[in-house]
């Protein structure tokens, strides 16, 4: 009987999926931080074709379009994008890399490096999950926490010259109304 139960457990048990390893390093020079990432899928069982890092989170940043990095690099066959979205519980403003086609995905048994960006924002100390990996069918492979910045959101703020022009325009409208009022009284 024990052998039968043990055989049933072995037969119906799901095999453990080996994790994909994402490694990161951060270097700092003259107030700029360069983040480098590598993805090791040698023990994984599913190809990886998207790597996204959450750099802006709700609710304190409702407009989630993040400021772009100063520069970035992508491995051959991959593109860099700025996006808003994610997968629960990791979502917000994203800096992400996507394989241009399925042949460029990080296949099981391989690894890929060359994902990097430079920004003036230091790594966040948050323990929240801030990255995810997706397969070519948009299935979430893994989420986790790595060294990454929490960047500002791009809000349109008028420049001082724009404020000056606005004030001059209001003054002109006010002066025209004042003059019209005094001209109608004199007539």
Q: What is the pLDDT of residues 128-186, one digit of tens each?
A: 788 888 887 667 778 888 888 876 555 566 778 888 888 899 898 988 888 887 777 76
138: left (phi over 0), alpha (psi -120 to 50) or beta: left
59 preceded by cis ω (within 30°)? yes
Average of per-residue pLDDT across 39-48: 90
Model pTM? 0.67
Task: Identify the pLDDT of residue 8.
Answer: 35
Residue 26 near residue 37, CB atoms below 8 Å: no
Q: Give the closest residue to 19 by CA, choosing from 43, 3, 37, 36.
A: 43
Average of per-residue pLDDT across 25-51: 90
89 preceded by cis ω (within 30°)? yes
């Amino acid at each position: 009987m024990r052998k039968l139960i043990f055989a049933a457990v072995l037969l119906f048990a799901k095999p453990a999926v080996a994790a994909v390893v994402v490694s990161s390093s951060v270097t700092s020079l003259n107030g700029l931080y360069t983040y480098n990432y590598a993805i090791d899928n040698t023990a994984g069982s599913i190809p990886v074709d998207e790597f996204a890092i959450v750099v802006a989170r709700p609710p304190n940043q409702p407009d989630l379009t993040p400021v772009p990095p100063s520069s970035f690099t992508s491995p051959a066959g991959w593109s860099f994008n700025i996006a808003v979205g994610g997968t629960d519980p990791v979502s917000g403003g994203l800096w992400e890399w996507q394989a241009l086609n399925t042949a460029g995905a990080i296949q099981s048994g391989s690894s890929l490096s060359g994902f990097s960006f430079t920004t003036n924002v230091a790594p966040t100390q948050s323990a929240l999950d801030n990255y995810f990996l997706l397969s070519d069918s948009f299935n979430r492979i893994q989420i986790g926490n790595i060294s990454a910045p929490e960047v500002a959101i791009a809000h349109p703020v008028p420049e001082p010259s724009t404020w000056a022009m606005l004030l001059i325009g209001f003054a002109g409208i006010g002066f025209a109304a004042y003059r019209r009022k005094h001209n109608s009284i004199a007539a």
